[in-house]
């Protein structure tokens, strides 16, 4: 693994009035890493991620994403990242192929490249039969896998995944992580938030957010060691116990 | 340009996949143009009249007969007591009460004068005013008739009268739909354009797909153009169906002015109007909010446009609102071009104002559309 830094934040903060959703978070993510972003509901994960994607302007602090400044170069950032939100974000009234074409197209992929990638994607997901079906008619697990594949279609440097496996069955979750590994192998940095502690174990490094602060940042093995726990669940409980914010 | 191509492809696919929208595009202009001009007709007919006849003479009967055969009045009741008729009046069953006093005929014969009493239900001001005018007119005609009956036809006795000859220009038969249909066509295009465009964008906000768009390097004006062009095309289709389908076939309205001029103005108008839809969408988070906002805007646009009421009779401040209203200009242009064959010179001012509005509304919408929330 190279040590090139692709995400670097310095005291990144987001305030909504008196409420501080993300409080001076500082961390670095290295190229090609699978970086897990953990925390209870309302801990500030989504807020932090939206700032990094350029969807939300920070209140204070600095960050560089893929070498671009988070305030002044958001459009450059957007060319270099992929994003998959909590809400399913493909068009349900378009077919699988139409969705792929649309998102590939607006990222400026050439027709040739797009066709190549599209065929490969459909083959990898085994969706040959579903290619001409409306996305709305697919089961959730398939939709999520498709959404991820579309998010990395334009080969971004970093892909942000906001609870990508929420509501998905264990088998599909496993397949989903295979896709993440494949993307990671091809050099894409993965930034993923999750509630599932078994998924946390799949990450290279993880951070734990509690009440808007970063409470821990290390590899899963080191964290378990540090809290003398056998599973990530125990680490999570140990850290989240001090939380004041009620889950929403 | 390539981005725009993909955006348009997507929008058109989504629109044509939505059968509800397709049905609306076809059915709405036809239904509304068939129904609304018939209801929004200011020609007053069927005025209900109560007659209280204390006289029961041949003259009083002649007068009543004359009123009924005029075609404007419907005899609601005929009684001997004012109180009884007044009750009908209070129940809203009659709009006018005509009281013929006792000895009406005798007074008329002996003293050369008779008194009649008219009470008008003025809740509906227009109906009251028109009704009493008609009635006065009929009574004065009746008066002339009896005078002619009595006077021997002597040349020297002919009273000097002024005859007025009126000629109706542009709409010679005072055909009400000729006046209303062009206006209603404008309302239709307005509704389809502003509503559909606003709701479409807000729907993306609600579902969350707009977030996915906002993390892409799409430019704001690309996104807005991608939303504007499809509804611009739909607006033109709706207008065409209304103009050639319903206005021509059903009402026989053939524009006497230039079609090219009309479509040129429509094009500019739609850009301005879709700008309004876009503005609405940037201020609302849910379709419900967008609906309420659009409804509010539409009410003002339509009521302050001179469609139903004359702008000239509005107070000065209201005229200003009407002047800031894009609908006003298009209705004027439509009436001028369809009925009067006005040319470009006549509507140059309208073109200028509408182009200005198109620029203002769309710049406002683009500035207010935020890819990044603060």
Phi (first) and psi of residue A57, to 5 degrees:
-85, 130
Q: Cα angle at B67 between B61 and B71, to 5 degrees?
A: 140
Contact between A103 and B374 using a beta-carbon 8 Å cutoff: no
A246 domain residue, yes or no: no
Kindly give the pairing relationship between strand A68-69 and strand A60-65. antiparallel
Query: Would you call A88 an interface residue with chain B, using a CB distance cutoff of 8 Å?
Result: yes
CB A219 within 8 A of CB A205: yes
- Higher model confidence: residue B149 or residue A148? A148
Residues 334-373 of chain B whose Cβ lies under 8 A from any Cβ of chain A:
371-373
Query: Would you call B10 an interface residue with chain A, using a CB distance cutoff of 8 Å?
Result: yes
The token pair at B7 is 């955006």
Token pair 């490249």 in the structure block, residue: A113
Helix (H, G, I), strand (E, B) or coil at B304: coil
- End-to-end Cα spacing for chain A: 38
> DSSP letters along A95-142, please?
BHHHHHHHHHHHTT--HHHHHHHHHHHHHHHT-TTTTTSBGGGS-HHH
Contact between B215 and A101 using a beta-carbon 8 Å cutoff: no
Query: Would you call A93 an interface residue with chain B, using a CB distance cutoff of 8 Å?
Result: yes
A53 domain residue, yes or no: yes
Order of all β-strands in the sheet with A34-39: A81-84, A158-162, A189-194, A34-39, A205-210, A213-218
Residues 254-313 of chain B whose Cβ lies under 8 A from any Cβ of chain A:
none
Which residue on chain A is closest to B10 by alpha carbon?
A102
In 3D, which of A158, A129, A156, A161 has the Cα closest to residue A142?
A129
Instruction: Report the gap between the CA of B26 and the closest CA in chain A (Å).
Output: 21
Query: Would you call B144 an interface residue with chain A, using a CB distance cutoff of 8 Å?
Result: no
- The model carries a pTM of 0.81
In 3D, which of A147, A154, A160, A163 has the Cα closest to residue A186?
A154
Sort out which chain B residues have CB atoms less than 8 A from A70's CB and list them.
Answer: none
Average pLDDT per 10 consecutive residues for chain B, totaling 374 residues: 90 89 82 80 78 88 88 85 84 87 85 84 80 85 79 59 73 75 88 86 90 90 92 92 88 88 95 94 92 91 85 88 92 89 90 95 90 74
CB A142 within 8 A of CB A148: no
CB B16 within 8 A of CB B22: yes
Mutation target vs B (from A106, A109, A136; most B CBs, 10 A cutoff): A106
| Nearest Cβ partner for A89 among B2, B7, B211 | B211
Cβ pairs bridging A and B (under 8 Å): 78
How many domains, chain A?
Answer: 1
pLDDT digits (tens, 9 = 90+) for A91-126: 999 999 999 999 999 998 999 999 999 999 999 999
Sort out which chain B residues have CB atoms less than 8 A from A57's CB and list them.
Answer: 372-374
Mutation target vs A (from B8, B22, B209, B217; most A CBs, 10 A cutoff): B217
Q: Is the pLDDT of residue A212 over 90?
A: no
pLDDT at B106: 86
Contact between A88 and B17 using a beta-carbon 8 Å cutoff: no
Contact between A106 and B371 using a beta-carbon 8 Å cutoff: no
In 3D, which of B169, B197, B178 has the Cα closest to residue B280?
B197
- Which domain, by its residues, includes A77? 5-240
Sort out which chain B residues have CB atoms less than 8 A from A111's CB and list them.
Answer: none
Sort out which chain A residues have CB atoms less than 8 A from B7's CB and list them.
Answer: 106
- Count the Cβ atoms, other than its own, within 10 Å of residue B113: 7
Contact between B209 and A83 using a beta-carbon 8 Å cutoff: no
Which class is B47-157 in CATH?
alpha beta
Sort out which chain B residues have CB atoms less than 8 A from A79's CB and list them.
Answer: 217
Query: Would you call B2 an interface residue with chain A, using a CB distance cutoff of 8 Å?
Result: yes
Q: Which residues pair with A64 in a beta bridge?
A: A8, A69
Which residue on chain B is closest to A108 by alpha carbon?
B3
- The alpha carbons of chain B give a radius of gyration, in whole angstroms, of 29
Sort out which chain B residues have CB atoms less than 8 A from A93's CB and list them.
Answer: 13-14, 17-18
Q: Which residues pair with A69 in a beta bridge?
A: A64
Query: Who contacts B192 (Cβ-Cβ below 8 Å, separation ≥6)?
Result: B24, B25, B28, B231, B234, B235, B238
Token pair 């006549």 in the structure block, residue: B346
pLDDT digits (tens, 9 = 90+) for A156-210: 999 999 988 888 888 999 999 999 999 999 999 999 998 888 888 889 999 988 8
So where are chain B's domains?
2-40+175-368, 47-157
Query: Would you call A108 an interface residue with chain B, using a CB distance cutoff of 8 Å?
Result: yes
Query: Would you call B92 an interface residue with chain A, using a CB distance cutoff of 8 Å?
Result: no
Q: How far apart are CA B306 and CA B39, in angstroms?
A: 17
pLDDT at A2: 54
Contact between A78 and B211 using a beta-carbon 8 Å cutoff: no
> What is the share, in percent, of chain A residues with pLDDT greater than 90?
52
pLDDT at B348: 92
pLDDT at B130: 82
Sort out which chain A residues have CB atoms less than 8 A from B212's CB and list them.
Answer: 83, 85, 89-90, 103
Helix (H, G, I), strand (E, B) or coil at A190: strand
Q: How far apart are CA B215 and CA A89, in angstroms?
A: 11
Instruction: Report the gap between the CA of B289 and the closest CA in chain A (Å).
Output: 21
Q: How far apart are CA A154 and CA A131, in angstroms?
A: 19
Q: What is the CATH number of the domain that holds A215?
A: 3.40.50.300
Reported as type and span, the H/E element at residue B53 is strand B47-53
CB A238 within 8 A of CB A224: no
In 3D, which of A209, A164, A245 has the Cα closest to residue A9?
A209
Which ranges of chain B does DSSP label H, i.e. alpha helix? Answer: 2-17, 19-39, 58-69, 82-90, 104-111, 125-150, 176-207, 209-214, 220-240, 249, 259-283, 287-303, 316-323, 326-340, 348-368
CB B216 within 8 A of CB A78: yes
pLDDT at B153: 60
A245 domain residue, yes or no: no
Instruction: Report the gap between the CA of A78 and the closest CA in chain B (Å).
Output: 5
pLDDT band at A153 (very low <50, low <70, confident <90, very high): very high
pLDDT at B173: 66
Query: Would you call A202 an interface residue with chain B, using a CB distance cutoff of 8 Å?
Result: no
């Amino acid at each position: 693994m190279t040590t090139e830094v692709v995400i670097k934040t310095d005291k990144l903060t987001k305030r909504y009035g008196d409420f501080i959703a993300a409080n001076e978070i500082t961390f670095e993510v290295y190229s090609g890493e699978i970086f897990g972003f953990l925390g209870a509901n309302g801990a500030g994960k989504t807020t932090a991620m939206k700032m990094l994607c350029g969807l939300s302007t920070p209140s204070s602090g600095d960050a560089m994403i893929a070498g671009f400044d988070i305030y002044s170069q958001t459009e450059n950032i957007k060319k270099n990242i992929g994003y998959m939100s909590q809400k399913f974000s493909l068009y349900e009234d378009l077919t699988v192929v139409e969705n792929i074409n649309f998102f590939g197209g607006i990222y400026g992929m050439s027709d040739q490249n797009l066709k190549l990638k599209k065929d490969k994607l459909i083959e990898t997901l085994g969706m040959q039969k579903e290619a001409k079906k409306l996305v709305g008619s697919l089961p959730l697990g398939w939709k999520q896998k498709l959404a991820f594949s579309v998010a990395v279609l334009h080969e971004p440097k970093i892909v942000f995944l906001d609870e990508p496996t929420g509501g998905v069955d264990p088998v599909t979750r496993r397949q989903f992580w295979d896709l993440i590994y494949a993307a990671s192998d091809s050099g894409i940095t993965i930034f993923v938030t999750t509630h599932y502690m078994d998924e946390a174990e799949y990450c290279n490094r993880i951070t734990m957010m509690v009440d808007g602060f970063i409470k821990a940042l290390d590899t899963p093995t080191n964290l378990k060691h540090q809290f003398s726990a056998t599973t990530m669940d125990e680490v999570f409980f140990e850290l989240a116990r001090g939380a004041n914010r009620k889950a929403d | 340009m390539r981005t725009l191509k993909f955006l348009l492809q997507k929008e058109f696919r989504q629109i044509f996949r939505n059968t509800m929208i397709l049905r609306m595009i076809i059915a709405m202009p036809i239904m509304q143009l068939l129904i609304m001009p018939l209801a929004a007709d200011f020609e007053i007919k069927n005025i209900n009249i109560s007659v209280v006849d204390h006289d029961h003479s041949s003259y009083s009967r002649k007068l009543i007969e004359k009123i009924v055969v005029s075609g404007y009045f419907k005899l609601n009741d005929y009684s001997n007591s004012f109180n009884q008729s007044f009750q009908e009046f209070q129940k809203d069953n009659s709009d006018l009460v005509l009281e013929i006093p006792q000895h009406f005929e005798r007074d008329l014969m002996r003293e050369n004068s008779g008194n009649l009493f008219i009470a008008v239900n003025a809740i509906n001001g227009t109906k009251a005013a028109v009704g009493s005018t008609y009635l006065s007119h009929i009574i004065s005609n009746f008066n002339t008739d009896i005078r002619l009956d009595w006077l021997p036809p002597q040349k020297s006795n002919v009273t000097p009268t002024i005859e007025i000859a009126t000629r109706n220009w542009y709409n010679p038969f005072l055909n009400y739909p000729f006046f209303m249909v062009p206006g209603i066509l404008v309302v239709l295009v307005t509704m389809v354009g502003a509503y559909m465009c606003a709701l479409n964008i807000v729907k993306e906000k609600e579902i969350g797909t707009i977030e996915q768009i906002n993390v892409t390097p799409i430019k704001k004006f690309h996104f807005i153009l991608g939303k504007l062009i499809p509804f611009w095309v739909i607006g033109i289709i709706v207008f065409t169906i209304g103009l050639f389908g319903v206005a021509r076939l059903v009402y026989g309205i053939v524009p006497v002015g230039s079609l090219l001029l009309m479509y040129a103005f429509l094009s500019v108008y739609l850009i301005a109007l879709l700008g309004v839809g876009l503005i609405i969408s940037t201020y609302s988070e849910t379709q419900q909010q967008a609906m309420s906002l659009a409804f509010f805007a539409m009410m003002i646009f339509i009521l302050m446009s001179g469609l139903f009421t004359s702008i000239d009779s509005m107070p000065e401040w209201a005229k200003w609102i009407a002047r800031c209203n894009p609908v006003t200009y298009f209705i004027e242009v439509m009436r001028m071009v369809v009925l009067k064959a006005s040319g470009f010179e006549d509507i140059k001012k309208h073109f200028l104002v509408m182009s200005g509005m198109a620029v203002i509304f769309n710049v406002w919408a683009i500035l207010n559309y935020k890819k990044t929330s603060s």
